[in-house]
C-alpha cells in the first residue's frame, strides 16, 4: 500500500483544501471504515461506491439505523393531490360548468371517473417520487471538487472511497490521513476546491442564450396577433370547409349558365321587398294616405256580409257575443268565475266604436288593442273586411229606423216588427 | 458470433441459487463489457444493416401518416360497420408489448427477483419505444389530427370540456401517464450508468452529454439511499399502473354493449395478454442483442429460461380467459354472444381465430420442455409466433365483433388497404430504429444493479445464499 | 440476525405435541352443536332450510376460501422457488390439506339438493325450471346430478393436491431429500392449472348460480382474489397465535410478517381491481340482464353495505397497511388481519344474501352459529391434519435462506 499523499493537479499554495479522499478495497471495508470515521467523531464525510452498499448509509449517519427519508411523504402528498385534483376536474367540467347527459349517465358519474382519478394519482405520485428523489440527493450537481481527482473517476466502475470534508469541525489533514490509513485505506489523497467556479462550456451557454429568446418568439407573436386590431382577416391555417367551390349570391360566373353572365337569376316580377311600401295599403292595412280608411276597399255585397257573419260567429262571437254586446260565452264564464284579469269587451254598439273609422277597426282586428289579441295571423285580409262589414251591419241594427229599410222590405217589417217603427229598435 | 462455452446456470438444484453472471466476472469486467458497446468506434456491421432496414420501414410509417393527414382517414380500410381496424389493433398491440418492460422492472423488483437486473434496462427501453409507437395510432386515426389538442381540458371559446366519462379520454390519460412514468423510471435507473459512461469518456463531447444527463451523480451513500427509495417508490407505483393501463385500454371495448366486447374478464385478460406479448418481444430483442453485443455472460440462458417460463404462464392465463369466455357465451344464454363466438370460429375471419389460438395457446406449450426454453433459436421462433398471435387476438376481437353484430343488415367485411399495412410494418421500423439507437448510445444493461448480484460481490444475496 | 439460525430453530417448539388430545374432538362437538342450533332456529322459523342454507353457505365458502388461498400459495411458492416463505409454508400446507375436512362440510349443502329440498338454488326446483326458458336452456349444466359430480371432482382435486404437498413436504422433514423439492416444483405448475379451473367453476356453481340468470366472466377471479386476501389474513393470525402460545418463536420473524403484510396489501388492491372491473363494466353498459344483480345490492339497506364494503375492504385497509411500520408491528398487523377476515365474511355475505333477503339485512344468531360451527369444525380438522407433523419444514433446502431473510 502506498502511503504517499498526492495532491491534485494545480500548483501548491494557490488552492483551498476541500477534503481528504481515501480509497478502500471493497464494500465491506468501506462500511467498516465509515463506522470507524463516525466513531472518531467526524460528522461531515461521505462514502462513495459504484453500487448501493447495504447498510452503508446507516453507517454514515449520526444515529445509525434510522431510515428516515421524506420521500414517501412527498409521494403520498402527490398522490392525494392527484386524486383530489382529478375528481375536482371531472366533477367541475362535466357536472357543473357544462353539464350534459350522455348515454343516460348521471352528471357526476363516479364509477366512470375512477380510471382517470387513479391514473392521475399515479402520475403525480411518480413525478413527486422522481423529483423528490433527485432533490433529496442534491441532484443536479454538475460541479464538485472531487471530479477533479483522476482517481475518483473509477468510483462508478469498481472503486470505493471515503471522503472527509474540510468543513468538518475537527478536520485536520494529517490526523485524518492517519485515521483513514489505520482503517484500511489503500490510498489517501488531499483534494482541493478549484480556483474558479467551473462553468458550463461557452458553447452550451451561448446556445441557451440564443435559443431561449427564440423559443419565446412564437408565443409572443401569437399573443400579439390575437389581441392586436387588424384590418386584414386573420391567418386561417386549417380551412376545413370554409371556402367552398360554389357561387355566392350576386356573383358573376365566368362560365355562365345563363346568358347574362350572372350566377343567379333576378327576382320574379311582382316580388316585394320586406320593407317595401305597399301599393295596397287600403286593402292590406286599412290606411289611405297614412290615415285610417273610412271606406271599404272591397265591393260591399250581401255575399260578403254573409261571409262576414259566418266568420264573425267563429272568431269574434265568443267574447263579443252574437249581437256584439260583449256578452259572449267566454266573457260570461270569466265574469261568473270572477277572473281578476278579465276586462269585459266593449260593446260594439258603443258610440266610441261606432265613431271609429273602419280602417281603425281593421287595425284592431289585425293587431289587437289593449287586452284583445290580434287576429291578423288567423284571419286572411279579405275575411277581415267581411267581418267589419258585418260589424257595421250589427251596429246599424241598433241605430237604423224604418226609413233606412228599402221600400220593398218595409211592408214585411210593418207586418211583423214592433209598433213604433220610427224609433230605433233598442237603446244604444 | 463465436460460440462460447459457459457454465450452465439453468440447473434445478434446490440446494443452491444459480449464479446470475457467468464467467470470472468482477465489477470492472462487467463495466467494460457493457460500456464498450457504446464506446467502440464502430458498432458491428449487422447494426448498420438493421438500422438501415428499420429506418426504411419507419419511412413507410411516415409516408402512411402523411397520406392520411393530406387525404383523410378514408385511405384506411375502416368503414361501416368496422370503424376500428388496423389502427386500434396496432395501438393495443404496442401498448401491450410495453407492459412486459414495466413488469420486469417494477413487479419483479418488488418480488426481489434478482435475475431481472440483466434485462431490465433493455426491457424498460422497449416499453418507452413501444409506447411511442402505440401513441402514433390513436393520434392519427382521429382524422383531424391538427385539432387533437381538443382532448385536453383547456378553457376555450366554445366553453366545451372533454367528456371524461368516455373510455377514449381514459385512454389518453392512462397512456400519457404510462409513457411519462416509464420514461421517468427508465431515466432514473440510468443515472448511475450514465455517470459510468461520463467517467470513462475519452472525448469532451461524450463527457459533456453523458455528464449533463447524469446530473452530476457521484455515488455517495446518501445519493444511493435516496435513489433506492425513489426507485422502490416508482416500482411500487408502476405496478398498479401497469395493471391499470391495459385495463383502461380494455375498457374501450368492455364498456360497450357489443357481444364479444362486453365481458367483465377483459381487464385482467388484457393485462395477462400484454405481459405475454411483451415478454415475447423482450426475448426477441434479448436473444440477438446478447449474441451481437457479447452479453451472453450477463443475459444468460437462465434469464431467458425465466422469461420463457413467464411466457408459458401468461399463455395459460390467456387460454383460461378464452375458455371462460367460451363457457359463458353458452351459459349466459345471450344468443348474440353465442353467435359472436361461433362467428369467430367459423365465420369469415375463422383463419385469424384459429391461427391466434395456435400461436397463443398451442405453440407456447413447447416451453414445458426445458430444451425449448434454453435454446435461443427455438425461443425466438416461439416468441415471434406469440407476437403474431397476440396481434391477431386484438384483430379478432376488434374486427369480428364489429363486422357482425346485432343486425345482419349492418354486417360488413373489413379489408385492409396498402396504407394500413404500411403503417403496421412502419411501426415496427420506428420501434427497431429507436431500439438500435438505444443499444448504440445508451447503457444497455443496468451495470450498477448487476454489480449487486455478482457472485464476487460479498454483499450479493445470491452469493450469500449458496451453502 | 442470529449467527446460526438453524441452531435456534432446534430450540423452537415445532410440533403440537403439547396440545391435549381432547381439544380436537371437543372442537368438533362444539361445532356440531352450534350448527345444530342454527339449523333448529331456522327450521323453527318457517320449516324451510333456506335461512340456514344461506348462512351455512356463506360460512362454508369463507373457510373454503382460506384453504384454497393456502393451496395457491403453496403451489406458487414452489413454482417460483421462493426462499423467504419456507418457515411459514408448512402452516399454509396444513391449511390447504384441511380442504378434505371441508369436503365433509359440503354435505349440508349437497344433501338437501340431492333430496330435492334445497331452498338455495332456483335451478334445482323442477317447477321453476319448467316456468323459465332461461333456466331450461342452462339445465344441461345447472342440474343436480352434474352439480354433484362436479363438486366431487373439485374436492377430489383439491384434496389430492393439498395432501400431495403436505405429504411430500413432511417426508422431507425426515429425509432432507432435495429431490422432493424438485418433485413439488414440477407438480406446482399442473396444480395451478387445475386450481384455476376448479376454483373458477366451483365459484360459478356455488355462488354465481344463486342468481341463475346472471353471469360474469370475471366472477371466478373475483372469488379467487377474496380467497387469497383471506388466506394471508388467516396465516398472519395463525402465526401470531402459535407464537403467542410459544411455538415457532424464532423461525417466523418480523421480516416474514412484513412480507406477509405486503402481500396482504397487494392482494387487497387486486381484490379492489377485480371488484371495480366487474362493477364498472356492468354499470356502464347498463344491460338489464347483468345490472339486476347489482341493483339488488344497491337497493335499500344493501346500498349501505355495498358502500361499507368499498371502504372496509379496500380504502381503509389500503391506507392502514401502507406504512412500513404497521407491517412490522405484530399487534397492528394482527389487527388488520382480523379486520380483513371480518370484511371477507361480509363480502361473501354480500354475494349470497341479497338473493334471499332483498329488503333487509338479515343478520342474527343463525349466522353467528354457522360461523362458530363451521369454524370449530375447520379448526378441529386443522388440528387433526397437524397431529404429529412439524410446523416448519425442518429440512427444506431453502430453510436457511428463509431464516436469515431480511426485507431490504
Q: Is A260 helix (H, G, I), strand (E, B) or coil?
A: coil
Q: Do A111 and C283 touch (CB under 8 A)?
A: yes
Based on the fold, state whether residues A49 and A175 are members of the same structural domain: yes
Over chain B, what is the mean pLDDT? 93
Which residue among C193, C216, C278 places its CB closest to the CB of B316?
C193
Based on the fold, state whether residues A184 and A292 are members of the same structural domain: no
Cβ–Cβ under 8 Å, residues C242 and C248: yes
Which spans in B256-400 are helix H?
A: 266-292, 301-331, 335-346, 350-357, 370-373, 376-395
pLDDT digits (tens, 9 = 90+) for C321-379: 999 999 999 999 999 999 999 999 999 999 999 999 888 888 888 999 999 999 999 99
A243 and B CB contact within 8 Å: no
pLDDT of residue B260: 93
- Which residues make beta-bridge pairs with A45? A164
- High-pLDDT (> 90) share of chain A, %: 46
Cβ–Cβ under 8 Å, residues C281 and B251: yes
Contacting residues for B302 by C-beta, under 8 A, at least 6 apart: B9, B10, B18, B20, B115
Half-sphere exposure of A55 (CA within 13 A, CB side): 13
Which residues of chain A have a CB within 8 Å of the CB of B33? Answer: none
pLDDT of residue C14: 78
Which residues of chain A have a CB within 8 Å of the CB of B222? Answer: 46, 57, 60, 137-138
A287 φ/ψ angles, rounded to the nearest 5 degrees: -120, 140
Q: How far separated are the first and last CA of chain A, in Å rounded?
A: 141
Cβ–Cβ under 8 Å, residues A89 and A119: no
Q: Which residue has the cell 427564440?
A: A214
Based on the fold, state whether residues A290 and A175 are members of the same structural domain: no
Residue A426 has pLDDT above 80, yes or no: no
Q: Which residue has the higher pLDDT, A400 or C9?
A: A400
Q: Is A45 helix (H, G, I), strand (E, B) or coil?
A: strand
A290 inside domain: yes
Structural domain ending residue among the three candidates A200, A222, A237: A200
C280 and B CB contact within 8 Å: yes
Q: Tell which of B36, B124, B160, B229 to mutate to test the A interface (max A CBs under 10 Å).
A: B229
B261 φ/ψ angles, rounded to the nearest 5 degrees: -105, -40
Contacting residues for C285 by C-beta, under 8 A, at least 6 apart: B255, B256, B257, B262
pLDDT of residue A247: 87
pLDDT of residue A238: 75
A222 inside domain: no
A177 inside domain: yes
| 3-class secondary structure per residue, C323-371 | CHHHHHCHHHHHHHHHHHHHHHHHHHHHHHHHHCCCCCCCCCHHHHHHH
Domain count for chain A: 2
A208 inside domain: no
Q: Which residue has the cell 444475496?
A: B461
A45-48: strand order across its sheet = A45-48, A160-165, A16-24, A187-193
Q: How far separated are the first and last CA of chain C, in Å rounded?
A: 14
Residues of C with CB under 8 A from a CB of A: 276, 279-280, 283-284, 286, 408
Q: Which residue has the cell 369467430?
A: B344
pLDDT of residue A423: 58
C-alpha cell at C194: 387445475
For residue C325, give the chain A residue with the closest CA. A67
| Other C-beta atoms lying within 10 Å of the C-beta of residue B352 | 18
Q: Tell which of C281, C324, C393, C408 to mutate to test the B interface (max B CBs under 10 Å).
A: C281
Based on the fold, state whether residues A85 and A180 are members of the same structural domain: yes
The closest of A167, A183, A131, A144 to A1, measured between CA atoms, is A183
Based on the fold, state whether residues A173 and A39 are members of the same structural domain: yes
**DSSP 8-state secondary structure symbol assigned to residue B75:** G
Based on the fold, state whether residues A185 and A298 are members of the same structural domain: no
The closest of C272, C222, C282, C271 to B262, measured between CA atoms, is C282
Contacting residues for A55 by C-beta, under 8 A, at least 6 apart: A31
Q: Which residue has the cell 332461461?
A: C134
How far is the alpha carbon of B464 from chain C, nearest alpha carbon, in Å?
A: 9
- The Cα B447–Cα B297 span in angstroms is 13
Q: Which chains, if any, share at least 3 CB pairs under 8 A with chain A?
A: B, C
C284 and B CB contact within 8 Å: yes
Based on the fold, state whether residues A163 and A296 are members of the same structural domain: no
pLDDT digits (tens, 9 = 90+) for A385-398: 999 999 999 999 98
Contacting residues for B416 by C-beta, under 8 A, at least 6 apart: B76, B77, B85, B86
B251 and A CB contact within 8 Å: yes
A4: confidence class by pLDDT, cuts 50, 70, 90: very low
A356: confidence class by pLDDT, cuts 50, 70, 90: very high
Residue A2 has pLDDT above 50, yes or no: no
Distance of CA C96 to the CA centre of its chain: 9
Q: Is A46 helix (H, G, I), strand (E, B) or coil?
A: strand
Structural domain span for residue A294:
282-416
Beta strand pairing call for A287-288 and A291-292: antiparallel
A104 and C CB contact within 8 Å: yes
Which residues of chain A have a CB within 8 Å of the CB of C280? Answer: 111-112, 114
Over chain C, what is the mean pLDDT? 92
Q: What is the CATH number of the domain that holds A299?
A: 1.10.760.10
Structural domain ending residue among the three candidates A182, A200, A218: A200
- The Cα B334–Cα C289 span in angstroms is 9
Q: Do C221 and B256 touch (CB under 8 A)?
A: no
pLDDT of residue A197: 62
CA distances from B87 to B67, B141, B142, B247, B255 (A): 14, 7, 10, 19, 19
- The Cα B151–Cα B172 span in angstroms is 8
Which residues of chain B have a CB within 8 Å of the CB of A52? Answer: 224-225, 227-228, 448, 452
Based on the fold, state whether residues A173 and A71 are members of the same structural domain: yes
A42 φ/ψ angles, rounded to the nearest 5 degrees: -75, 145
Cβ–Cβ under 8 Å, residues B286 and B304: yes
Q: Do B165 and A105 touch (CB under 8 A)?
A: yes
pLDDT of residue A8: 45
Based on the fold, state whether residues A192 and A288 are members of the same structural domain: no
Cβ–Cβ under 8 Å, residues B372 and B304: no
pLDDT digits (tens, 9 = 90+) for A248-286: 888 888 776 788 888 888 889 878 777 766 677 888 888
Over chain A, what is the mean pLDDT? 86
Residue C1 has pLDDT above 60, yes or no: no
CA distances from A54 to A134, B224, B225, C82, C302 (A): 20, 10, 10, 22, 52
Which residues of chain C have a CB within 8 Å of the CB of B257? Answer: 285, 287
Residue A88 has pLDDT above 50, yes or no: yes
pLDDT digits (tens, 9 = 90+) for A187-231: 888 888 776 666 667 788 888 899 999 999 998 988 887 777 878
Q: How far separated are the first and last CA of chain B, in Å rounded?
A: 36
Residue C252 has pLDDT above 90, yes or no: yes
Cβ–Cβ under 8 Å, residues B344 and B258: no
B117 φ/ψ angles, rounded to the nearest 5 degrees: -65, -25
How far is the alpha carbon of A385 from chain B, nearest alpha carbon, in Å?
A: 52
Structural domain ending residue among the three candidates A200, A228, A249: A200
- The Cα A391–Cα A372 span in angstroms is 16
- High-pLDDT (> 70) share of chain C, %: 97
How far is the alpha carbon of A162 from chain B, nearest alpha carbon, in Å?
A: 9
How far is the alpha carbon of C193 from chain B, nearest alpha carbon, in Å?
A: 8
A290 and C CB contact within 8 Å: no
Residue C2 has pLDDT above 80, yes or no: no
- Given a cut of 50, the residues of chain B with pLDDT beneath it are 1-2, 464-467
Rounded mean pLDDT, C260-264: 96
pLDDT of residue A90: 96
Which residues of chain A have a CB within 8 Å of the CB of B175? Answer: none
Cβ–Cβ under 8 Å, residues A347 and A326: yes
pLDDT of residue A189: 85
Cβ–Cβ under 8 Å, residues C212 and C123: yes
- The Cα B14–Cα B16 span in angstroms is 6
- The Cα B248–Cα B264 span in angstroms is 13
A266 inside domain: no
A164 inside domain: yes
pLDDT of residue B465: 44
Based on the fold, state whether residues A45 and A164 are members of the same structural domain: yes
Amino acid at each position: 500500500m502506498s502511503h504517499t499523499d498526492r495532491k491534485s493537479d494545480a500548483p501548491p499554495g494557490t488552492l483551498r483544501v476541500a477534503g481528504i479522499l481515501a480509497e478502500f478495497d471493497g464494500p465491506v471495508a468501506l462500511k467498516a471504515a465509515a463506522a470507524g470515521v463516525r466513531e472518531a467523531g467526524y460528522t461531515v464525510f461521505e462514502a462513495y461506491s459504484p453500487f448501493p452498499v447495504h447498510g452503508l448509509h446507516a453507517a454514515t449517519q449520526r444515529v445509525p439505523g434510522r431510515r428516515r427519508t421524506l420521500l414517501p411523504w412527498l409521494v403520498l402528498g402527490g398522490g392525494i393531490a392527484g386524486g383530489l385534483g382529478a375528481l375536482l376536474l371531472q366533477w367541475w367540467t362535466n357536472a357543473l360548468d357544462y353539464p350534459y347527459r350522455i348515454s343516460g349517465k348521471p352528471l357526476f358519474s363516479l364509477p366512470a371517473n375512477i380510471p382517470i382519478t387513479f391514473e392521475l394519482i399515479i402520475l403525480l405520485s411518480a413525478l413527486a417520487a422522481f423529483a423528490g428523489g433527485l432533490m433529496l440527493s442534491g441532484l443536479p450537481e454538475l460541479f464538485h471538487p472531487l471530479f477533479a481527482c483522476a482517481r475518483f473517476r473509477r468510483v462508478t466502475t469498481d472503486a470505493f472511497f471515503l471522503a472527509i470534508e474540510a468543513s468538518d469541525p475537527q478536520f485536520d489533514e494529517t490526523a485524518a490521513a492517519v485515521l483513514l490509513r489505520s482503517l484500511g485505506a489503500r490510498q489517501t489523497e488531499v483534494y482541493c476546491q478549484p480556483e474558479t467556479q467551473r462553468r458550463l462550456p461557452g458553447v452550451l451557454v451561448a446556445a441557451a442564450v440564443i435559443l431561449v429568446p427564440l423559443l419565446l418568439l412564437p408565443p409572443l407573436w401569437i399573443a400579439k396577433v390575437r389581441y392586436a386590431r387588424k384590418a386584414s382577416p386573420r391567418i386561417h391555417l386549417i380551412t376545413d370547409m370554409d371556402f367552398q367551390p360554389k357561387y355566392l349570391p350576386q356573383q358573376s360566373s365566368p362560365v355562365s349558365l345563363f346568358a347574362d353572365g350572372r350566377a343567379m337569376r333576378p327576382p320574379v316580377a311582382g316580388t316585394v321587398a320586406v320593407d317595401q311600401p305597399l301599393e295596397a295599403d287600403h286593402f292590406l292595412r286599412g290606411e289611405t294616405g297614412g290615415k285610417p280608411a273610412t271606406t271599404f276597399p272591397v265591393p260591399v255585397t250581401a255575399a260578403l256580409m254573409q261571409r262576414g257573419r259566418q266568420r264573425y260567429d267563429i272568431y269574434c262571437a265568443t267574447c263579443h257575443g252574437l249581437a256584439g254586446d260583449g256578452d259572449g260565452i267566454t266573457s260570461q264564464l270569466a265574469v261568473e268565475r270572477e277572473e281578476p284579469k278579465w276586462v269585459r269587451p266593449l260593446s260594439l254598439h258603443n258610440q266610441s266604436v261606432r265613431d271609429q273609422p273602419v280602417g281603425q277597426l281593421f287595425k284592431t282586428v289585425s293587431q289587437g288593442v289593449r287586452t284583445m289579441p290580434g287576429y291578423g295571423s288567423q284571419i286572411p285580409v279579405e275575411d277581415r273586411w267581411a267581418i267589419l262589414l258585418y260589424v257595421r251591419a250589427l251596429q246599424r241594427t241598433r241605430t237604423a229606423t224604418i226609413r233606412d229599410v228599402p221600400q220593398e222590405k218595409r211592408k214585411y217589417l210593418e207586418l211583423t216588427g214592433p209598433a213604433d217603427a220610427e224609433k230605433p229598435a233598442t237603446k244604444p | 458470433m463465436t460460440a462460447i462455452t459457459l457454465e450452465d446456470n439453468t440447473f434445478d438444484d434446490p440446494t443452491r441459487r444459480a449464479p446470475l453472471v457467468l464467467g470470472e466476472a468482477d465489477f470492472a469486467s462487467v463495466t467494460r463489457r457493457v460500456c464498450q458497446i457504446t464506446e467502440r468506434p464502430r458498432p458491428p456491421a449487422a447494426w448498420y444493416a438493421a438500422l438501415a432496414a428499420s429506418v426504411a420501414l419507419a419511412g413507410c410509417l411516415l409516408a402512411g401518416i402523411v397520406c392520411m393527414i393530406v387525404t383523410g382517414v378514408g385511405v384506411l380500410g375502416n368503414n361501416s360497420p368496422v370503424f376500428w381496424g388496423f389502427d386500434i389493433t396496432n395501438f393495443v398491440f404496442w401498448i401491450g408489448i410495453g407492459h412486459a418492460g414495466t413488469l420486469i422492472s417494477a413487479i419483479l423488483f418488488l418480488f426481489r427477483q434478482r435475475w431481472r437486473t440483466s434485462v431490465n434496462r433493455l426491457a424498460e427501453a422497449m416499453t418507452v419505444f413501444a409506447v411511442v409507437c402505440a401513441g402514433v395510432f390513436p393520434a392519427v386515426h382521429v382524422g383531424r389530427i391538427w385539432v387533437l389538442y381538443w382532448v385536453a381540458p383547456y378553457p376555450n371559446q366554445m366553453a366545451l370540456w372533454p367528456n371524461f366519462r368516455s373510455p377514449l379520454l381514459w385512454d389518453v390519460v392512462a397512456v400519457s401517464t404510462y409513457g411519462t412514468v416509464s420514461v421517468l423510471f427508465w431515466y432514473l435507473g440510468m443515472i448511475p450508468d450514465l455517470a459510468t459512461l461520463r467517467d470513462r469518456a475519452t472525448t469532451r463531447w461524450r463527457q459533456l452529454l453523458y455528464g449533463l444527463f447524469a446530473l452530476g451523480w457521484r455515488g455517495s451513500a446518501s445519493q444511493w439511499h435516496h435513489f433506492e427509495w425513489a426507485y422502490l417508490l416508482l416500482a411500487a407505483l408502476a405496478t398498479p399502473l401497469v395493471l391499470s393501463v391495459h385495463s383502461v385500454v380494455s375498457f374501450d371495448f368492455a364498456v360497450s354493449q357489443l357481444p364479444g366486447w362486453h365481458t367483465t374478464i377483459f381487464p385482467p385478460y388484457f393485462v395477462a395478454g400484454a405481459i405475454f406479448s411483451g415478454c415475447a418481444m423482450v426475448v426477441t430483442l434479448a436473444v440477438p442483442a446478447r449474441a451481437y453485443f457479447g452479453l451472453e455472460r450477463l443475459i444468460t440462458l437462465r434469464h431467458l429460461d425465466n422469461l420463457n417460463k413467464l411466457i408459458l404462464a401468461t399463455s395459460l392465463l390467456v387460454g383460461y380467459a378464452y375458455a371462460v369466455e367460451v363457457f359463458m357465451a353458452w351459459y349466459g344464454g345471450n344468443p348474440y354472444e353465442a353467435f359472436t363466438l361461433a362467428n369467430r370460429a367459423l365465420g369469415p375471419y375463422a383463419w385469424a381465430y384459429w391461427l391466434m389460438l395456435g400461436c397463443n395457446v398451442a405453440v407456447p406449450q413447447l416451453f414445458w420442455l426445458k430444451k425449448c426454453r434454453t435454446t435461443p433459436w427455438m425461443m425466438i421462433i416461439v416468441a415471434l409466433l406469440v407476437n403474431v398471435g397476440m396481434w391477431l387476438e386484438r384483430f379478432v376481437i376488434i374486427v369480428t365483433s364489429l363486422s357482425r353484430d346485432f343486425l345482419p343488415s349492418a354486417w360488413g367485411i373489413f379489408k385492409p388497404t396498402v396504407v394500413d399495412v404500411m403503417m403496421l410494418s412502419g411501426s415496427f421500423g420506428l420501434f427497431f430504429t429507436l431500439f438500435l439507437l438505444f443499444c448504440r448510445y445508451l447503457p444497455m444493461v443496468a451495470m450498477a444493479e448487476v454489480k449487486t448480484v455478482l457472485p464476487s460481490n460479498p454483499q450479493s444475496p445470491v452469493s450469500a445464499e449458496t451453502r | 440476525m442470529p449467527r446460526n439460525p438453524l441452531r435456534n430453530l432446534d430450540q423452537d417448539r415445532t410440533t403440537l405435541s403439547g396440545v391435549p388430545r381432547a381439544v380436537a374432538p371437543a372442537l368438533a362437538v362444539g361445532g356440531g352443536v352450534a350448527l345444530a342450533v342454527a339449523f333448529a332456529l331456522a327450521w323453527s322459523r318457517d320449516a324451510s332450510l333456506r335461512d340456514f342454507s344461506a348462512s351455512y353457505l356463506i360460512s362454508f365458502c369463507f373457510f373454503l376460501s382460506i384453504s384454497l388461498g393456502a393451496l395457491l400459495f403453496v403451489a406458487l411458492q414452489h413454482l417460483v422457488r421462493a426462499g423467504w416463505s419456507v418457515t411459514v409454508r408448512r402452516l399454509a400446507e396444513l391449511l390447504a390439506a384441511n380442504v378434505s375436512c371441508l369436503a365433509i362440510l359440503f354435505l349440508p349443502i349437497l344433501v338437501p339438493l340431492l333430496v330435492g329440498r334445497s331452498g338455495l338454488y332456483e335451478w334445482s326446483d323442477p317447477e321453476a325450471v319448467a316456468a323459465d326458458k332461461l333456466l331450461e336452456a342452462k339445465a344441461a349444466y345447472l342440474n343436480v346430478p352434474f352439480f354433484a359430480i362436479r363438486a366431487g371432482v373439485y374436492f377430489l382435486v383439491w384434496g389430492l393436491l393439498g395432501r400431495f404437498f403436505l405429504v411430500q413436504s413432511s417426508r422431507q422433514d425426515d429425509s432432507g431429500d432435495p429431490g422432493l423439492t424438485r418433485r413439488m416444483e414440477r407438480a406446482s405448475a399442473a396444480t395451478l392449472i387445475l386450481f384455476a379451473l376448479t376454483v373458477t367453476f366451483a365459484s360459478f356453481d356455488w355462488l354465481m348460480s344463486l342468481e341463475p340468470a346472471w353471469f360474469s366472466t370475471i366472477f371466478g377471479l373475483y372469488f379467487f382474489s377474496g380467497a387469497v386476501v383471506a388466506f394471508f389474513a388467516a396465516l398472519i393470525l395463525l402465526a401470531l397465535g402459535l407464537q403467542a402460545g410459544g411455538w415457532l418463536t424464532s423461525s417466523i420473524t418480523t421480516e416474514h410478517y412484513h412480507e406477509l403484510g405486503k402481500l396482504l396489501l397487494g392482494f387487497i388492491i387486486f381484490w379492489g381491481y377485480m371488484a371495480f372491473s366487474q362493477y364498472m363494466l356492468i354499470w356502464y353498459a347498463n344491460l338489464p340482464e347483468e345490472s339486476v344483480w347489482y341493483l339488488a345490492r344497491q337497493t335499500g339497506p344493501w346500498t349501505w353495505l355495498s358502500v361499507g364494503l368499498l371502504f372496509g375492504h379496500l380504502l381503509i385497509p389500503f391506507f392502514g397497511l401502507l406504512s412500513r411500520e404497521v407491517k412490522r408491528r405484530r399487534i397492528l398487523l394482527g389487527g388488520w388481519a382480523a379486520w380483513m377476515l371480518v370484511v371477507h365474511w361480509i363480502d361473501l355475505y354480500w354475494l349470497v344474501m341479497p338473493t334471499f333477503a332483498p329488503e333487509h339485512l338479515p343478520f342474527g344468531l343463525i349466522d353467528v352459529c354457522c360461523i362458530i360451527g363451521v369454524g370449530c369444525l375447520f379448526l378441529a380438522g386443522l388440528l387433526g391434519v397437524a397431529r404429529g407433523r412439524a410446523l416448519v419444514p425442518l429440512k427444506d433446502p431453502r430453510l436457511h435462506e428463509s431464516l436469515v431473510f431480511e426485507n431490504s
